[in-house]
Amino acid sequence: MPSISIDLTVLLKEKLSVQHALVLDLLDKQDLESYEKYIFEIDYIPPTVFQTLHRKGFIEHLGKDFQYEFESSRLTPKGVHLLREIRGLAAVEEMLLSKHKRSTDTVEWAEEWRELWPKGVKSGGYLVRSHIKDISTKLSRFQKKYKYPKETIFKATEQYLQEKQLQGYGFIKTAAYFIEKSGISTLAELCEALESGDSHDLSSDYRSV
């Protein structure tokens, strides 16, 4: 018989048994062979199991009479959702969706943040407005490591660019290297200075690109 992973907390919440979960799983797979093998070799599944699932709206009865049988039953959308919870897939999908949303937010962040950097300005032969892919990757790592809020990151960046503009953009870093280069993050230093109320002297920051 095929294996099934069961989250017992879901069954307890819905006041269902392991047999209810088994029926849902086998109905989803349309596995009549395993169902019959179970009831003949392991344990009898009474009609009340199907009746309970039907009453709770997890399966629907396709037969013409009221004989609840495997062949005349199928999952409802509500039953499909419950089965995903029982298998633990709902929690996994929610985690992946949340992760994807954070990733999407970071990309949107990166595009907005990249717009702060001046167009056409070069440092060491490279445009200071780095490629969006490099910025997205580095900002994502930066957020995971330092966890500074967006407002602090933008304010620190704006201050850096304003001071560099006054200096004619001399020794300005590229956006990607500003986030991090060789384990050193100018952005992190400026964010820390902002949050602690200290000033950061950029005139001594001669390292470009």
Is 87 strand, coil or helix?
coil
Is 122 strand, coil or helix?
strand
How many Cβ atoms from other residues are within 10 Å of residue 48's Cβ?
Answer: 11
Query: Of 173, 179, 184, 180, which Cα lies nearest the Cα of 209?
Result: 173
d(CA 169, CA 119): 12
Query: Hey, which bits of the chain come out as E strands?
Result: 59-61, 73-75, 122-123, 126-127
d(CA 189, CA 56): 58
Q: What is the residue-wise DSSP string for 19-57?
A: HHHHHHHHHHHT-HHHHHHHHHHT----HHHHHHHHHTT
The predicted structure's pLDDT at residue 109: 82
The predicted structure's pLDDT at residue 199: 60
Query: Do residues 148 and 191 touch, judged by C-beta distance below 8 A?
Result: yes
Please report which residue ranges of 147-185 form alpha helices under DSSP H: 150-166, 175-179
**Strand partners for 20:** none
In tens digits, the chain (209 residues) has pLDDT values of: 566 677 788 888 889 999 999 899 899 888 899 889 988 988 889 889 999 999 999 999 876 665 667 888 899 999 998 988 888 764 555 555 555 555 555 657 899 999 999 999 999 899 999 999 899 999 988 988 998 988 999 999 999 999 999 999 999 999 999 999 999 999 999 999 999 886 655 544 544 45
Tokens 């950061």 belong to which residue? 200
Query: Do residues 142 and 188 touch, judged by C-beta distance below 8 A?
Result: yes
d(CA 181, CA 86): 46
